[in-house]
Structure formats: structure tokens, C-alpha cells
Amino acid sequence: MAKKDVISIRDFSKKEIEDMLKLAEKIDSMAEEKRLKLLAGKKLATLFFEPSTRTRLSFESAMQGLGGSVIGFADANTSSTQKGESLKDTVRTVEKYCDVIAMRHSLEGAARAAAESVSIPVINGGDGANQHPTQTFLDMYTILKLKKKIDGLVIGFAGDLKFGRTVHSLALALSHFNVKLYFISPDSLKMPQEFLDEIKERGTNYIETENLAETIPELDILYATRIQKERFYDLAEYERVRGFYRINKKLMESAKPELKVMHPLPRIDEIDYELDNTPYAVYFEQLANGIPVRQALLCRVLGVL
């Protein structure tokens, strides 16, 4: 039997995605005492070659909430890579100290390469602008929890659709279902053609537009993303496109009352603080869902439940 990794949302069928969301729901409603025994004695290594508060702490909290323990590094400067060690050797080393690896790396394909080098499960916590599948599972879980269904929804993505890996992965996952998608971005940050082709192939309808205000009334879910400064080579272009869309109370005036605004966080100024205390804002609830979802993924790859 092949070992289980979580590298790309592309590796999961519709059925597997649905099963994972059910498992997350099961863990979410489990008594703490029972949950704390699920991975007792197991060790997670969090290898963050690229820093991330959110994803790293979420994995660590998830693992500890299952009774397991955590080793790792938050910064490539404290790892052996600075002595010139290859990624392959680093993960083959860490493999001897733990039961499962969660990693983030700045290079696309790094998580896949790592997974192919070791015999324990690897979970991708983000590889460059490529994939971030655990984010996608928690996004799907959030939508399902809020809307009780995915089929039939109209979902808009706004912001940086070119470099935003969370958008790429979520759009792919949603295209398994009967949804309508809007891709709302400035021309320089459009959704890459390869993803559009893949979505279309699965028979999912989508519309590309630059106009957020006109699209708002159509949407059940608005998924906003940060314009990521660190992905730009040209800072002048960054300054031009940032804040292209400001999501605030005024914009919500034309929205459906049950519209939910999601964001993978961190935000800079895409979403006004004034929106935080409205029923539209679900982004902090969304990130809280990262715990049961990552717990489900950890259990699944370790063969528990």
C-alpha cells in the first residue's frame, strides 16, 4: 500500500475530499479527553524553511490537541541547509526523529520532492506559489459548515489570483462540485490559464472580471486574498495594484444578506477592520477551522480513525 501524503489538492478525488471533511467534522465534535489520546506518543516535525506563524502554529496546536508532540524549526537559518545540505538529506534525517512531516518551502515542488525521499507521510504547508492543500481543506470545510452544501453556490475570488496559491487550490477543489466561479482581479494578477483550463475541463462555469462592485450582488461567498509583496519583483507594480479592491461596509450594501467573506489571512488592507464585527466576516472562524481539519489530515496519513 502506498504511503499517504498531502501534497496537492489535485491528488484527491471528490470522494476523498468529502470523506476528509466528514472526518474533520467528527474530530471537531469529539470530547477533548478522547481526542487527546488519538496520536499520543506520535511526533510531528514542522520544517518551515520559509517562516509562517499561522500555518506552523496551527499544525503544532492541532498535533498537541491530539496528544502528540512536536519538533522542528521555524526558520531555515537554524537548520542544516545553511551548511549546504540538500533538502533530500534534510528530510531523510528528520524522518528518523518523527512520524510525520509538515513543511513549508519557498520552491515549487519542494514538498513533492521531500515526500518522494522519505517513507513517512509528508504534508505540504505551502510550496512557493504552487500548492497549499491544507488551506484548501479548511476553506472547503468552512464553506460547508456555513452553507451546509457546496453544490449550487456562487463563489467569487478577488485579489491576487496569479500568485495566490490558496486560490489555485480552492478553485480546483470546488470544480469537483456544481458551482459558479468569478475570478475578479486586475489584468496583471489574473488566474493562470492552466488552472482555468483544468476547471473548464471539469465542466465548471467561470467568469473573469475586473469589477468587484458589479459582481458582489451575485455572490454567496467572496474569497479575498492579500496582494503578496514578497511575490513581486517590481515594487512599483506592487504599489499600483495593492488596494485595488477594498472590501468594506459600503461594498456590502449591494451584497446578499447571507454573503460570507473569507480570506486566508494575513490581510494588509484588502478588508477594512470595520467589516470584522459584521455577519459577513468569517475569516477568523475560517482559520479556527484549521485545527480540526489539520487534525483530520494528521489522523488520516497516520492511519488513525
Binding residues for a second copy, per CB under 8 A? 32-33, 36, 41, 43, 45, 48, 51-54, 57-58, 60-61, 64-65, 69-75, 77-80, 82-85, 88-90, 92-94, 96-98, 226, 228-230, 265-268, 273, 284, 287-288, 290-291
For a second copy, the closer of residues 13 and 119 by Cβ is 119
Candidate list 15, 83, 96, 148, residue with the active-site label? 83
Active site residue 83: yes
User: What's the closest the beta carbon of residue 257 comes to a second copy, in angstroms?
Assistant: 25
Candidate list 42, 104, 112, 165, residue with the active-site label? 104
**Among the listed residues 207, 202, 222, 251, the one whose alpha carbon sits nearest the alpha carbon of residue 155:** 222
User: What's the closest the beta carbon of residue 75 comes to a second copy, in angstroms?
Assistant: 5
What one-character DSSP code corresponds to residue 76? Answer: G
User: What's the closest the beta carbon of residue 303 comes to a second copy, in angstroms?
Assistant: 16
Active site residue 92: no
For a second copy, the closer of residues 81 and 178 by Cβ is 81
**Among the listed residues 216, 262, 233, the one whose alpha carbon sits nearest the alpha carbon of residue 163:** 233
Active site residue 54: yes
For a second copy, the closer of residues 48 and 280 by Cβ is 48
Contact 216, 245 (CB under 8 A): no
User: What's the closest the beta carbon of residue 32 comes to a second copy, in angstroms?
Assistant: 6
Candidate list 132, 162, 176, 294, residue with the active-site label? 132
For a second copy, the closer of residues 8 and 90 by Cβ is 90
User: What's the closest the beta carbon of residue 224 comes to a second copy, in angstroms?
Assistant: 14
Distance, CA of 231 to CA of 167 (rounded, Å): 15
User: What's the closest the beta carbon of residue 202 comes to a second copy, in angstroms?
Assistant: 32
For a second copy, the closer of residues 53 and 254 by Cβ is 53
Active site residue 226: no
Distance, CA of 270 to CA of 299 (rounded, Å): 35
**Residues ≥6 apart with Cβ < 8 Å to 89:** none
Distance, CA of 132 to CA of 166 (rounded, Å): 6
Distance, CA of 272 to CA of 268 (rounded, Å): 9
User: What's the closest the beta carbon of residue 273 comes to a second copy, in angstroms?
Assistant: 8
Distance, CA of 249 to CA of 278 (rounded, Å): 9
Active site residue 14: no
String of b and e for 151-166 (b: at least 16 CB within 10 Å)?
Answer: eebbbbbbbbbbbbbb
Query: Angle, to 10 degrees, between the axis of helix 14-28 and the axis of helix 290-301?
Result: 110
Candidate list 4, 26, 54, 180, residue with the active-site label? 54
For a second copy, the closer of residues 13 and 236 by Cβ is 236
H/E stretch holding 24: helix 14-28
Candidate list 55, 90, 166, 215, residue with the active-site label? 55
For a second copy, the closer of residues 142 and 175 by Cβ is 142
| Cell, residue 305 | 480513525
Distance, CA of 81 to CA of 33 (rounded, Å): 39
Distance, CA of 198 to CA of 134 (rounded, Å): 20
Active site residues: 54-55, 83, 104, 132
